[in-house]
Amino acid sequence: MSNYFEDLAHSVIAGQQDRVKQLTQQALDAGTDPVEIINQGLISGMNVVGARFKVGQMFVPEVLMSARAMNGGMELVKPLLVGQELPSAGKVVLGTVKGDLHDIGKNLVGMMLESAGFTVVNLGVDAGPQKFLQAIKEHKPGVIGMSALLTTTMLSMKDTIEVLKEEGLRNKVKVIVGGAPISQDFADEIGADGFAPDAASATDLCKKLLA
């Protein structure tokens, strides 16, 4: 079976959605545990994609192909998980900050997190402090992740952190930030718990913060 999982992981890395679906179906027909298919085949492949993306060996279009391939397999497996709790690495509330409509990078972060087994609550774009606050109260995440692509909107991250402090929630949730104009210095300055320069690093950071 380990060769089969390797084959599945390689097909995810290669972005071959049809092959991933075929292999997933074969494994299900053979009675393989759906959780094993996810962890040892699908997620294991996406972990390699994340690592390669981080060091510039894979690029955004290839990552999107791999994610699409992985989702093809997930669609077959998920209905069989009803009643079974899919192990979650933790919950992350993710959004692009107030006034900012850029969501390609943020969605890539969301996909990578989901691929690594996190539960992601995606607030979409133009998410102000109150929206993050409500989502924290409702979903009780371990981490909130804010994305900004404009120098004019990045200060909204600071506003959100201030609101969390006012509400007494700052110590209950880790805050990570990212996006093209964001740096580690800026993250330190506004009192975030971490900064990630890319989607794969964001996943590593969440794992570290929730360990």
| Binding site residues, ligand B1M, CB under 6 A | 60, 99-106, 108-109, 145-147, 149-152, 176-181, 196, 198-199, 202
In the complex with ligand B1M, which residue's Cβ is closer, 81 or 101?
101
Looking at the Cβ atoms of 23 and 109, the one nearer to ligand B1M is 109
Least distance from ligand B1M to the Cβ atom of residue 156, Å: 11
In the complex, what is the shortest distance from the CB of residue 62 to ligand B1M, in angstroms, rounded to a whole number? 12
Instruction: Please state whether 5 falls in left (phi above 0), alpha (psi between -120 and 50) or beta.
Output: alpha
Nearer to ligand B1M, 23 or 177 (CB): 177
Min dist. Cβ of residue 116 to ligand B1M (A) = 13
Alpha carbon distance 9, 28 (integer Å): 16
User: Distance between CA 121 and CA 47 in Å, rounded?
Assistant: 20
State the minimum distance, in angstroms, from the CB of residue 27 to ligand B1M: 31
Nearer to ligand B1M, 43 or 199 (CB): 199
For residue 10, the minimal CB distance to ligand B1M (Å) is 23
The two tokens of residue 82 are 């009803």
Report the alpha-carbon distance of residue 61 to residue 45 in Å, rounded: 16
Pick 19 or 106: Cβ nearer ligand B1M: 106
